[in-house]
Amino acid sequence: MIQEQLFFSIIIPTYNRPERLQTCLKSLTCLNYPRDRFEVIVVDDGSSTPLDSVVLPFQERLNIELIRQDNQGPATARNTGAIKAEGKFVLFTDDDCELDPKLLDTLANQFELHPDSLLGGQTINQLCENLYSEASQLLVDYLYVYYNCDPQQARFFTSNNFGLSKARFCEIGYFDTSFPLAAGEDRELCDRWLHHSYQMVSVPEALVYHSHHLTLKSFWRQHFNYGRGAFHFRQVRSRRDAKPIKVEPLSFYLNLLRYPFPHSSHHSPILIASLFVLSQIANFLGFFWETKQQRVEN
């Protein structure tokens, strides 16, 4: 059986968040999966303080390696970890995430069925009391409902919870490091994966718990940057000579505004819907700003 051969490499890019990284690594010690069947690669993307004191205490409980590089962004950091990885399958998560104890078992079972597929799990917001964190996660949840309505023909996963064959990842060329921010490179990888006629499969029972604290300012900046990333995504896609990206129908936006009402349990759905509107404005302005910047540079 393939499970006897299975070996995971968990790759975690990190930058200036030692406390969150420590919590993430603690969750890995609770994974219900043989310790000799997975490794952990932490890629320090140029943090101001070395992370040895955070990582070294876990060496007795995890097969873990710390790699340090100059600050180049999470896409490059993930690629650095993947190149070093010895696992047959690489799993990407972020330093502000905690992995469910059954995650690797769940993915191992799915890789038996789909060894050449990109598998994406579900992300749960851990900061339910934070209005902006809740709105951000509900927005991603809506995109998953929209793009992954058929779990066997999914189209989009965020990079804090997906896994794939290292051989296939290498074959399609890793993450595109031309993206200037942590925004859009996961969308581009998913699109390129499908362009190579590989399958994406949604595995909602593969859980990761996310603790990304946001304020109104950082919520705006996050979605402004997503707009900038969307511009670069279109540029990269056009160079690949792929089909033009279809404009989403009006129903996409109407359903987006409706989505919080049956799904928001901790905050007023009206507030969440208002933040959805704000996110789309930020997205548009980020896209327009990046377009203007490129014209100036060229």
pLDDT tens by residue, the chain, 298 residues? 344 445 899 999 999 999 999 999 999 999 999 999 999 999 999 999 999 999 999 999 999 999 999 999 999 999 999 999 999 999 999 999 999 999 999 999 999 999 999 999 999 999 999 999 999 999 999 999 999 999 999 999 999 999 999 999 999 999 999 886 778 899 999 999 999 999 999 999 999 999 999 999 999 999 999 999 999 999 888 887 766 777 889 999 999 999 999 998 889 999 999 999 999 999 999 999 999 887 777 6
Q: Which two tokens stand for residue 75?
A: 């896409």
Judged on CB neighbours under 10 Å (0-12, 13-18, 19+), 265 is: exposed
Q: Which two tokens stand for residue 65?
A: 């390696």
Q: How big is the chain by its Cα radius of gyration, in Å? A: 19
Q: Which two tokens stand for residue 199?
A: 């399958």
CB-side neighbour CA atoms (13 Å) of 246:
4
Judged on CB neighbours under 10 Å (0-12, 13-18, 19+), 254 is: exposed
Location of structure tokens 């320090």: 44
Q: By the 8 A CB rule, do 213 and 258 touch?
A: no
What's the CATH number of domain 2-214, 3.90.550.10, 3.40.50.300, 3.90.190.10, 3.90.1150.10?
3.90.550.10
> Cα dist. 276→16, 92, 140, 220, 257 in Å?
29, 27, 11, 11, 7
The candidate with the shortest Cα–Cα distance to 106, out of 202, 198, 222, is 202
Q: Which two tokens stand for residue 72?
A: 């180049």
Q: Which amino acid is at 131?
A: L
Domain boundaries, the chain: 2-214
Q: Which amino acid is at 162?
A: F
Beta strands (DSSP E) in the chain are 8-14, 38-45, 64-69, 89-92, 97-99, 118-125, 162-165, 200-210
